[in-house]
Structure 1
């Protein structure tokens, strides 16, 4: 393996990232760009798991705010993540990358069921594994799914790819020109400062299992590879309690 900082990673992608400028649905050119960035990392010999959100198609929390039953709305959101996972699989396979989609909701005609040992086996064989369907339970975000899967497969880091935001700030940098960017934080800093990086369940889970996060801008081509190689970009959030 090429000299890299992280050898097994979970890449967390927002569903909105797949929509491009349209803001809704799946935009094939964007899928192609993201797949190319993932392939750059795969070519280094890094083992990769991917968790993708579903907000470009459906967001359960929004449905609940509109009067839907929350569990029902979240189930729809989990199905949206599976659609995104299949689209990303197609993009990667067009580049010659071997991929498996594993779902927390059983649908064997289109994907494998999530089985921890099988996922690890696939990654050890050089396959990218896309973890779709969130945790399989309502009331849990795909941030929580990323933290859970990272703990289960013993990942070195969670790479939290953001759209046009190059790290964690103390205020919205798009609205406040004086917003300060943090280069390094701890999970306790995230909780104590009320920084909106991930939901509190994901933050607590990653802290309890000592899993670091790196928050970075994926809109700049090659950034995923730069993070994996140890370049100091974005914000690194240490996983431990210290």
Structure 2
């Protein structure tokens, strides 16, 4: 990269699943994966990009899953929110070990371990170059961390939301099981909704569509792809409004 190169985006929101932190493990957090993610986002921060992150908790606990087994859904979702706080604290620690300042902001009050989410304070942290990790989803049951990511991205006026997955974009079939699955270079929000392609949940997609927030779906574990994406390269799949909008 030349010294004259400038990032294509001033402020991003990165959506990470909790499962991504497991690596090859069946549960919990893989320290090597955590360190890799922290180094990737820290490098973006060094480039002057303002980075917000929403992380799930599926590597520890999935409220919807236990609700199917009979647990009260609200209780299960609250437990899932706490799992995201655990992941957020682990990521904050890894980011700070990588040499950048970070703040965890929670949608539920848990003041002894992290800050409450306050939009203006979050924006101020970003402006000061701190990497902000948003925990506890929206703070409400029945909403996924996809919806939380869309909400936070819109609230902080992010230029783009990046959904980091284990595959390099959106396919018309599961590329892990379908040999000739086709990857989309670009989709409209309506395409993704109508074809039920599993980009994000419906609420999250509609929020992004209605607020003109583009989404890039990419493989977090393809080394260097996150930086290439932020520099403006066509990495993964772009989900945006119709061309005539």
Band of TM-score, shorter chain: over 0.9
Secondary structure in structure 2 of the residue aligned to 1:26: coil
- Residue of structure 1 aligned with 2:157, choices 135, 154, 157: 154
Secondary structure in structure 2 of the residue aligned to 1:211: coil
- 5 Å matches for 1:124-139? 124-139=127-142
Give a deviation string over 1:131-156, Cα, whole Å, max 9, x none. Answer: 00000000000000000001101100
- 5 Å matches for 1:207-226? 207-226=209-228
Distance in 2, Cα, partners of 1:135 & 1:40: 27
Residues matched between the structures, number: 241
User: Given that residues 101 and 112 in structure 1 are in contact (C-alpha distance below 8 angstroms), is that contact kept between their aligned partners in structure 2?
Assistant: yes
Q: 1:5 Cα shift?
A: 1.0
Distance in 1, Cα, partners of 2:27 & 2:16: 15
Please, what is the CA RMSD of the aligned residues? 1.2
Give a deviation string over 1:74-112, Cα, whole Å, max 9, x none. Answer: 000000000000000000001110001000000111100
- 5 Å matches for 1:61-210? 61-163=64-166, 165-210=167-212
Distance in 1, Cα, partners of 2:219 & 2:30: 19
User: Given that residues 170 and 195 in structure 1 are in contact (C-alpha distance below 8 angstroms), is that contact kept between their aligned partners in structure 2?
Assistant: yes
Secondary structure in structure 2 of the residue aligned to 1:169: coil
Q: 1:233 Cα shift?
A: 1.3
Distance in 1, Cα, partners of 2:206 & 2:42: 31
Give a deviation string over 1:211-242, Cα, whole Å, max 9, x none. Answer: 00000111111111111111111000015694
Distance in 1, Cα, partners of 2:112 & 2:82: 14
Q: 1:23 Cα shift?
A: 2.5
After TM superposition, which residue ranges in structure 1, 4 or more long, deviate above 6 angstroms? none
Change (3 A) 1:10 1:238: same
Distance in 2, Cα, partners of 1:57 & 1:206: 27
User: Given that residues 210 and 240 in structure 1 are in contact (C-alpha distance below 8 angstroms), is that contact kept between their aligned partners in structure 2?
Assistant: no
Aligned to 1:34: 37
Change (3 A) 1:72 1:195: same
User: Given that residues 104 and 132 in structure 1 are in contact (C-alpha distance below 8 angstroms), is that contact kept between their aligned partners in structure 2?
Assistant: yes
Q: 1:197 Cα shift?
A: 1.1
Gaps of 5+ in 1: none
Distance in 2, Cα, partners of 1:213 & 1:81: 22
Gaps of 5+ in 2: none
